Amino acid sequence: MSFPYQFSASAQAMRPSPIRELFKLIQRPGMISFAGGLPDPAIFPTREFAQCAPVLGDKGTVALQYGATEGYAPLVDLLRERMEKPLGRPIRPEEVIISSGSQQVMDMLSRVLIDPGDVIITEAPTYPGALHTFRNQGARFAVVPCDASGMIVDKLPEVIDRCRKETGKLPKLIYSIVNFSNPSGACLAAARRPLLAQIASAHGVPVLEDDPYGELRYHGEAAPTVFSSGSGGVLFASSFSKILAPGVRVAWAVGDPELIRKMAISKQGMDLCTSVVAQVLVAEYCRRGFLDAHLERIRAHYKAKADAMSEALRRRLPEGAAQWADPEGGFFFWVELAKGNARDLFQRAVDAGVAFLPGDTCYPSRDETVGEPVDGSRFARLCFTFAQPAEIDEGARRLAEALG
């Protein structure tokens, strides 16, 4: 018999991440998975990373000791230097915090901003893991629909107003994945970026500009960060997960020193500090100049995979059965079915030996949404980075089979 735990309200409301549940269904030999948002382990810089290990000997007394909650100072300095250009100005140390993955940036923000019932504005669709973190802290959601140019920022003022009317409070945060969004692959158009910053600032709602994929551009031109066009209130976050490797669990955020300080106090109660061993290895990896060389390699590697998926989908899927825009970077194709819904297709696809992420996981549910929910049931997220090129074509063939 289990112990009669009296779980907290949030724990009672906690749902296992839908992704986690779905992934149990696809652990089967021969399954081709476009489902997870995983980097390709074949491109991990294993050799270069392992070459950095002597730093664990040389800097052992630092690497093995407790570290500053805000992060390992040499890594903070490397990031300040690296961020100066995209963020448009020099960054002070007190504007930076290093976190245990950018999931923790969301978690720190949740704790610092959200009281149960508070509203977070997300794009629809958005990253399911963000919904999970915000939900665990008791957040509700208001959504701004997206098009091929990302969040339809023009609709933001009415979403904010409606939220204020219905809850009596401002929303606590606007969450946007600005480049090659997970799941949609879209980039927020350059013209919308200053507008987002301006609307957020005018209404007094802070922005989390989440940018794990920005450096993975395979075509086209980058737009300036929202942070660089803003007048404060934008927290910029990025991560080593997609540009180096997720297993290090090292990410960072840059923003208002008062917010960063609160986040640090919160983080101190979470894990005291991010693994110093991991931070020292990542700093050494960057210091040796491996990161920029590796970025060249992964851009070429993933561009080929994106091209392979584009080709495979075009060639394999029945005419008129689905539509999508080829992404210019990142990890994902976001495919809209002409009919039916992606959950039903998921079942048939898994039977046919291919998996993807049903789009509905990327939207808050109706009961946790303030205002109009957006229905994403006809979308499917296909990750092209993890599967091998031959699998991409065969996976598309199986998907076509499931589409009937």
- Residues numbered 185 to 204 that lie near a second copy (CB under 8 A) are 201, 204
What is the layout of strands, in order, in the sheet containing 150-151? 96-99, 251-254, 234-239, 207-210, 173-177, 119-124, 140-147, 150-151
Q: How far is the CB of 64 from a second copy (least distance, A)?
A: 3
- The whole-angstrom separation of Cα 121 and Cα 115 is 15
**What is the rounded CA–CA span in Å between residue 172 and residue 141?**
10
Report the residue number, 124 or 273, with the smaller CB distance to a second copy.
273
- 245 phi, psi to nearest 5 deg: -170, 140
The tokens for 326 are 């080829």
Residue 303 engages a second copy in binding (rule: CB under 8 A) = no
Give the residue among 213, 204, 162 at the shortest CA–CA distance from 39: 213
Cβ distance to a second copy smaller for residue 13 or 148:
13
CA distance 264 to 298: 32
Tell whether residue 112 is a contact of a second copy (CB under 8 A). Answer: yes
The answer to whether residue 271 forms part of the interface with a second copy (CB under 8 A) is: yes
Q: How far is the CB of 348 from a second copy (least distance, A)?
A: 27
Q: Which stretch binds a second copy (CB under 8 A): 110-118, 151-159, 331-339, 348-356?
A: 110-118
CB within 8 Å of 194: residues ≥ 6 apart: 226, 229, 230
What minimum distance in Å lies between the beta carbon of 149 and a second copy?
A: 26
Token pair belonging to 77: 């300095």
- Residues 113-132 within binding reach of a second copy (CB under 8 A): 113-115, 118, 129, 132
Nearer to a second copy, 177 or 399 (CB): 177
Q: Per-residue x/- marks for a second copy, 65-104, CB under 8 A? A: xxx-x-----------------------------xxx-xx
Which residue is associated with the tokens 């052992």? 60
Residues of span 5-64 touching a second copy by CB under 8 A: 5-11, 14-17, 20, 36, 38-39, 41-42, 44, 46-47, 49-50, 53-54, 56-57, 60-64
| Of the residues 98, 259, 396, 402, which one makes contact with a second copy according to CB under 8 A | 259
Instruction: Count each helix (H run) and each strand (E run) in the chain, helices first.
Output: 16, 14
Encoded one letter per residue, x for contact with a second copy by CB under 8 A and - for no contact, window 273-302 reads xxxxxx-xx---------------------
Q: Which of 22, 75, 78, 107 binds a second copy (CB under 8 A)?
A: 107
Residue that is written with structure tokens 């909650």 in the block: 69
Structure tokens at 344: 């039903």
Task: Tell me how far, at minimum, the Cβ of 55 lies from a second copy, in Å.
Answer: 9
**Looking at beta carbons only, is 225 or 310 nearer to a second copy?**
225
168 binds a second copy (CB under 8 A): no
Residue 204: count of CB within 10 angstroms of its CB: 9
In which residue are the tokens 């949030």 written?
A: 10
Contacts of a second copy in 357-396 (CB under 8 A): none
Which of residues 227 and 324 has its CB atom nearest to a second copy in the complex? 227
CB 357 within 8 A of CB 381: yes
In angstroms, give the least distance from the CB of 5 to a second copy: 6
Min separation Cβ 402 and a second copy, Å: 26
Q: How far is the CB of 80 from a second copy (least distance, A)?
A: 20
How near is the Cβ of 266 to a second copy at its closest, in Å?
6
Alpha-carbon distance of 88 to 115, in angstroms, equals: 33
Considering only 133, 182, 238, 310, the residue that binds a second copy (CB under 8 A) is 133
Residue 148 binding a second copy, by CB under 8 A: no
Cα distances (Å, whole numbers) of residue 380 to 338, 345, 383: 12, 9, 10
Q: Cα(201)–Cα(230) distance, rounded to whole angstroms? A: 8
Length of the chain as a residue count = 404
Output the smallest distance, CB 401 to a second copy, in A: 29
Distance of alpha carbon 187 from alpha carbon 123, whole angstroms: 12
Site residues (CB under 8 A) for a second copy, limited to 193-252: 201, 204, 206, 232-233, 241, 244-250
> In Å, what is the CA distance from 216 to each residue of 103, 125, 308, 327?
19, 20, 16, 11
